[in-house]
Homo-oligomer: A and B are copies of this chain.
């Protein structure tokens, strides 16, 4: 099989390549701890800040706020402020955001089939690493 792995020297090394690699940009959208969970909580429709805070029982205000702002910046979520008192702010997935949840579903599907194998492999590896050193014979 030949999958045309690129010659990274064209880009000035792997480091430079990663900065312009679009799949990597997307990967980093989901790497932060709360991103996937917040998007999941928005799947059912618009939610206000305090509803999300309750749904994500245990998340700090700072992290929820920060995660939502990142999602908004990436165009995955809209933020709507109602000029009432007390203030009310609604968050909702955009079309782009809903399409991005497809990735999370793909990950969930793979996880359903293979996560146990990964966890088992870790257990085996860790047990082997904890064994006493083998005699040299």
Binding site for B on A (CB under 8 A): 1-3, 5, 8-9, 13-18, 22-27, 29-31, 33-34, 36-37, 40-41, 43-45, 55-59, 72-76, 96, 99-100, 102-104, 106-108, 110-112, 114-122, 125-126
**A5 and B58 contact, CB distance less than 8 A:** no
CA distance A5 to B102 in the complex (A): 16
CA distance A107 to B30 in the complex (A): 11
**B118 and A110 contact, CB distance less than 8 A:** no
**A99 and B114 contact, CB distance less than 8 A:** yes
**In the complex, chain B residues whose CB is within 8 Å of the CB of A25:** 111, 115, 118-119
**In the complex, chain B residues whose CB is within 8 Å of the CB of A59:** 14
